[in-house]
Amino acid sequence: KAGVTQTPRYLIKTRGQQVTLSCSPISGHRSVSWYQQTPGQGLQFLFEYFSETQRNKGNFPGRFSGRQFSNSRSEMNVSTLELGDSALYLCASSLGTGGANTGELFFGEGSRLTVL
C-alpha cells in the first residue's frame, strides 16, 4: 500500500512569495494533518482536515492556509513568506474517525522550504 506522498520535497523561495505544498494520503485515510518543524522545536501543529473540512487549527497566522479535496489529497499554502517560515513541513494521514482519537499518524517525508 502506497505511503503518504508529499511534493515538492525541496524548494527555495524568497521573502514575500507564496508557496503551495501538496500531500497525498494513504488510500482510505480521510484525515490529513500538517506540521511544521524548525530547528529546536517539536512538530508544531498547523491544521487538520477531514472530509474536506478543517477540523482543527493550530496557533499560526492567517498566512498559513490549507484545503482538502474530495479524494482526500490536501494542499497547504503559505502567503507572503518570511525568513522564519523556513522549515520542514510534514503531512500526516490517518483514518481520523472516532471521538477520542487514538489512531496512528502516517507521515510523509516532508517538504523542506527555504526562504531567502
Partner 1 sequence: ILNVEQSPQSLHVQEGDSTNFTCSFPSSNFYALHWYRWETAKSPEALFVMTLNGDEKKKGRISATLNTKEGYSYLYIKGSQPEDSATYLCAFSAPGNQFYFGTGTSLTVIP
CB 20 within 8 A of CB 29: no
Q: How far is the CB of 92 from partner 1 (least distance, A)?
A: 8
The distance of closest approach from Cβ of residue 74 to partner 1 in the complex, given in angstroms and rounded to an integer, is 13
Residues contributing to the site for partner 1 (CB under 8 A) = 3-4, 31, 33, 35, 40-45, 48, 50, 55-56, 59, 90, 94, 96, 99-110
User: Closer CB to partner 1, residue 37 or residue 79?
Assistant: 37
Distance in Å, CB of 20 to partner 1, minimum:
21
Contact 18, 80 (CB under 8 A): yes
What is the β-pairing status of strands 10-13 and 5-7?
unpaired
43 vs 79 by CB, closer to partner 1: 43
Which one, 19 or 94, has the nearer CB to partner 1? 94
Least spacing, CB of residue 48 vs partner 1, in Å: 5
Q: Which of 41, 10, 35, 7 is nearest to 21 (CA)?
A: 7
Distances from the Cα of 80 to the Cα of 16, 22, 40, 49, angstroms: 4, 18, 24, 23
C-beta of residue 72 within 8 angstroms of C-beta of residue 25: yes
Question: Which one, 11 or 43, has the nearer CB to partner 1?
Answer: 43
